[in-house]
Amino acid sequence: MRNAVNKEPTYYNSLYRHGVDEKRRVQIPAKWRPEKPGTELTLMLWPKAKEGPCLRVLPPAEMAKMVKAIDAMSNGDANKVVLKRFIGSESVQVSVDKAGRICLPEGMARAAGIKDEAMLVGLLDRFEIWNPQSYEKVKASDAVLAHEAFKLME
């Protein structure tokens, strides 16, 4: 939350291209940083894009919603345990340091192709971290689908 008194949510919007240092730290935009020191964000390898994986970053409230949604699935649904195992094993908690950076785990950064630069992409309630070249492909795919997607808002 950006403003603990008014309980205004943080909206993750816009695009940011940042360098990644030799320790795999990437700057989080000031508007996106948790206000409460020590707040942990969940960083997970997200394999869903055909253009390749990215790192998805969830604030605590969104991670709690995801866990609740998975827990609500039927225990007879084999996908429930697959999701729990995959998300549980492919995610880590990260804190924003005093300089406003998070450290990308080596294996996750390598799997997502993130080396010297990263593209931070707002998804309104969460954000993604992409290899810039992979993101350009995703952006092109999104542009093709946007007309149909916006029909959902009518």
What is the SS3 string spanning the chain?
Answer: CCECCCCECCCECCEEEEEECCCCEEECCHHHCCCCCCCEEEEEEECCCCCCCEEEEECHHHHHHHHHHHHCCCCCCHHHHHHHHHHHHCEEEEECCCCCEEECCHHHHHHCCCCCEEEEEECECCEEEECHHHHHHHHHHHHHHHHHHHHCCC
Cα–Cα nearest to 120, from 131, 110, 109:
131
Q: For the chain, what's the residue count?
A: 154
Range 15-151 has CATH code 3.40.1550.20: yes
pTM, whole model, 2 decimals?
0.87
Residue that is written with structure tokens 């205004």 in the block: 8
Q: Along the chain (154 residues), what's the average pLDDT of each consecutive run of 10 residues?
A: 60 96 96 89 86 92 94 93 91 94 96 96 96 92 81 76
Question: Distance between CA 104 and CA 21 in Å, rounded?
Answer: 10
